[in-house]
Structure 1
């Protein structure tokens, strides 16, 4: 959770400083063009996220989740720190936005391995009956990262004038990435590999010893129950004889075997991320740039909304272990179909109370996704391809829909003159999500596909044995 918080602190800074970054790194003369250019650069990081998912996801299935999580932390911190060191457009001209795009792409490549690796790691460690509760810690960490980033930007905006902020103040949050990255790396290097993945390695090693790396079985299995022994194994239990590793052929094989769950994952992630980025990343800019609301007040209200969500995410995650993930996800999608228009009407009415009420209602719907996705998505895939299949499908969806949300929303508002366009976009995403949620299988309290049951206590183990041997 703490590692994830530090990762998304780095990633969230840019979203909350989009207007200032537009002024620093792009030619002056048109405020709207500067903001759009800034959001286009924000989206650039998401263009390479599928490549990061394609690289880090299957890598996590081969060398382990722990090493991948440590690597993504280093890359994210390095990319963020580098942004803080770039000279402005007035100093080096077009080299400034060029370097900005480059380091944003480093961030995006890193983030491509973050969610899939982290959610897989937690899902494989959690007991079956409490996967929803423990999975909610991942998004708890995401919110902590965003809150830290937004709070620091809010403080700087309140203390510094526009000239100070654009001159040097904007660099402070980015430069803090270095010490934060060191702490995050220390935490992640202390992790132990997940038991479910360890069992897959042991099975592959045993299979490789019997058939010279071309094993036929083990505890890991794909969706139709057949073991995947393609990786073979070395004497240390690490798969090392897969000629397809990291290739397009490997991706094609994963997609062929996992086509349906990957499509469901893409649809669910689109619904989740469009609404998440709309509320937590784009709304401060919408309030200040479109509605001429005070930028500091807008950020502060988003921070308060996220703090409230922190208090709700664990109880709701635990509730999904009892009532299931599907009802909560379907409820969240239904809320985003019905509520965006009235909430945007409240926001556009102006005034501290009405704006906060509109944001808070949307936040209470969003928590239905925050509390469930980290447990629901990994359970769609079998253990031996979970990291790869989840990382690829998740990042394809985030790249196409989530990361482009601020840019699309700003372009829709600017192009149509209709301030309600973000609400319509949220409703469309939710309609897609509700169909996917309806078609997904319920996985609450069940063992992960391709893994043995996981329990938290001896009492649970006895109950499980008794149930299987009536």
Structure 2
């Protein structure tokens, strides 16, 4: 009996070793071309910067846009109406995700990302062409809403596609750091918008800004969009998607595209995790980058120029910290870094808002820096964390839908809800409680997520940076197979 059992164990051990060698040979490992990786990361980050320049400009000019398109109301009412149009764009983002996501999984990531780039630029350029309320009346805010909906629809396919593109191009060991460049691009776009708006605010009179100056950043979106389109059209498809399509073509009967409801059912746990992670990520993002400039101006009475300058300096600080977060989550893990940021929001949101509301310029700056540093725990980690939740065949679709659903419900509505709550309650600490609630959800989600740092993407072969590294990986796995206990 004992000899028979030992024989079975030896057979299982031998089978496992053969299977390990078969499935993880050098030919099966993705060797990433480093030059193509740099181009892919640069193009995705640059395209994202162009897109978020468009969105950022709207946020930074919220007070002026409110006066142009919603005159007659109080400053608070104008701000709420402006952010209402801002939030409306987020309501159509899930529709954009439902359209562009499946397209990205069917025809390729690169083609869809090129299309979203030009669509966003057109929507933004058109905002600069719309006459004000004084010229065409109610048609002005209605046209603004239409342009915002075009922006939101195109953005529904942007972030999920860009994050997927970088994640599938990156090596397993450096996916966090490479992904953090996507958010570096986001901050660059916001910062470019902030610099431009700050310069105009300093150089133009209030009347000039109201009559024609506010249109300049939106007109710039046209050539920027064309440049981003050119860069993205020069890219090749990701190695992971190419291998997936090769497998599909090799089958006699290609597996049909998974349907939306089937995907939501099969990946419901991953979708819930995606929604939770995106919630804490985007609430902290839009609270800082979209709401705070207007909060400093409309609620605290600070001048527009001072508010923009403070937020702009904080974003400068956040840019290298985002890359540092990407570097460290490759080494420490995604979960600890996300957990650190979420707990930080719970503990430090009230002190940060208390500092911001103190009236002292140095205290306001310190409060904004606290929020900015906490946000980098998410911005440097999420571009690598979110794509790893799903397999290659549905990665673009699932991420685009889950990401945009969460953003539309919780992220993009942050400026609108906080503006409305502050106006109704008179409590200037509402943003702190909002951030704390997001932090609680972030902690819960991070606790239940699977660690993915330094591991292959779900359903994909390992990805390394050189053939030598591939050989070392195979040898390492063979040694692990040799040392595997017989019971396995």
Shift of 1:312: 1.5
| Structure 1 match to 2:195 | 151
One of 383, 390, 398 as aligned partner of 1:374: 383
Displacement of 1:64: 0.3
**In 2, distance between residues paired with 1:458 and 1:8?**
37
Pairing 1:336-375 to 2, within 5 Å after superposition: 336-375=345-384
TM-score (norm 2): 0.88
Q: 1:447 aligns with which of 451, 456, 469?
A: 456
Which stretch has the larger CA shift, 398-407 or 18-27?
18-27
- Which of 298, 306, 314 is residue 289 of structure 1 equivalent to? 298
Matched, 1:278 2:304: no
Deviation at 1:7, TM superposition (A): 1.1
Query: Unaligned regions of 5+ residues in structure 1, if any?
Result: 214-228, 232-243, 245-249
Offset of 1:11 from its aligned partner? 1.4
Separation in structure 1 between the aligned mates of residue 410 and residue 68 of structure 2, nearest angstrom: 26
Aligned residues between the structures: 435
* Residue among 77, 84, 92 paired with 1:40: 84
Counterpart mapping for 1:84-95 below 5 A: 84-95=128-139
| 1:412 aligns to 2:438 (yes or no) | no
Cα distance in structure 1, aligned partners of 2:198 and 2:208: 14
1:193 is aligned to 237
Give the structure 2 partner of residue 236 of structure 1. Answer: none
- Helix, strand or coil for the counterpart of 1:292? coil
Q: Between 396-405 and 459-468, report the one with greater CA deviation.
A: 459-468
Q: CA deviation at 1:348?
A: 1.0
Task: Summarize deviations over 1:310-335 as a string: whole Å, max 9, x none.
Answer: 11222221111111000000000000
Name 1:119's counterpart in structure 2. 163
Q: Matches of 2:476 and 2:102 in 1, distance apart?
A: 36
Deviations 1:392-444 (A, max 9, x none): 00000000011100000101100000000011001001101110011000000
Aligned-pair distance for 1:280?
1.1
Deviation at 1:463, TM superposition (A): 2.2
Give 1:177 deviation, angstroms.
0.6
CA offsets 1:110-132 (integer angstroms, 9 cap, x no match): 10000000000000000000000
Q: 1:22: how far off?
A: 0.7
Judged with a 3 Å threshold, the aligned counterparts in structure 2 of structure 1 residues 29 and 255 are, in CA distance, closer, same or farther, namely: closer
1:12 correspondence with 2:38 = no
Residue 31 of structure 1: how far off its partner (Å) = 2.0
Equivalent-residue separation in structure 2 for 1:385 and 1:112 (angstroms): 16
RMSD over aligned CA atoms reads 0.9
State how far apart, in whole Å, the 2-side matches of 1:296 and 1:35 are. Answer: 17
C-alpha distance in 1, partners of 2:402/2:446?
16
- Residue by residue over 1:54-99, the C-alpha shift from the partner in whole angstroms, topping out at 9 and shown as x without a partner, is 1101110000000110000011000000000000000000000000
CA drift of 1:351 comes to: 2.0
State how 1:13-412 maps to structure 2 within 5 Å: 13-207=57-251, 210-211=252-253, 213=254, 229-231=255-257, 250-412=259-421
Larger radius of gyration: 2
What CA distance in whole angstroms lies between the structure 2 residues aligned with 1:443 and 1:326? 9
Which region of structure 1 is more displaced relative to structure 2, 192-201 or 302-311?
302-311
- Measured in 1, the distance between the counterparts of 2:369 and 2:77 equals 30
Distance across 2 between alignment mates of 1:271 and 1:158: 34
Asked if 1 retains the 8 angstrom alpha-carbon contact of 2:274 and 2:402, the reply is yes
**Distance across 2 between alignment mates of 1:459 and 1:323:** 25
> Which whole-Å CA distance do the structure 2 matches of 1:429 and 1:263 have between them?
15
| Correspondence for 1:221 | none
Given that 2:101 and 2:161 are in contact with CA atoms closer than 8 Å, whether structure 1 keeps it comes out as yes
The gaps in structure 2 that reach 5 residues or longer are 1-44, 480-488
TM-score normalised by structure 1 residue count: 0.91
CA distance in 1 between counterparts of 2:312 and 2:57 reads 13
